[in-house]
Amino acid sequence: MTISSAVKQTIEFNDKIVRQFMWASMIWGIVGMLVGVIIAAQLNFHELNLASWLSFGRLRPLHTNAVIFAFVGNMMFAGIYYSTQRLCKVRMGSDLLSSIHFWGWQMIIISAAITLPLGFTRGQEYAELIWPIDIAVALIWVVFAVNFFWTLAKRNEPSLYVALWF
């Protein structure tokens, strides 16, 4: 998508990254909610707890993490990438950092989807992920922050809208 300003400068936004985060959000949302249906059925029909890694106790953290971090997290990043470019009237700071952010976030989600059912957890509600994944989360957030603040630094809009403060 493009936008033209008064001086006829055309800006080509990076909507590819927005679409990637949107698609990932929809896919992980389906996965997370399907796991929720499975664990709800396991509560009613205990026979559905087929193996330890498929039991309610192992799938419940997978469900909550998938819905919070995979579904909502990807949707949040899609919204930020979409609105930041338009509010700042500039393309994101780096397409490479945007791509690293997207694929890094997906690898974190896949890591969680593997480790949680296998029982690798810290056992803390909403903070179950093991420390190597926590470090990856911090690194990917730094990549995102660098890209976001780089975009703010090169913006074509002199005012920062309140939507960018939060």
- Report phi then psi at 45, rounded to 5: -125, 90
In a domain, 2, yes or no: no
Q: What is the pLDDT of residue 10?
A: 86
In a domain, 3, yes or no: no
In a domain, 129, yes or no: yes
In a domain, 6, yes or no: no
The single-letter code of the amino acid at 117 is P
The parts of the chain modelled with pLDDT lower than 70 are: 1-8, 163-166
How many domains are there within the chain? 1
pTM of the prediction? 0.88
Q: What is the pLDDT of residue 159?
A: 81
In a domain, 104, yes or no: yes
Q: What is the pLDDT of residue 160?
A: 78
Domain ranges, residue 140: 11-165
In a domain, 1, yes or no: no
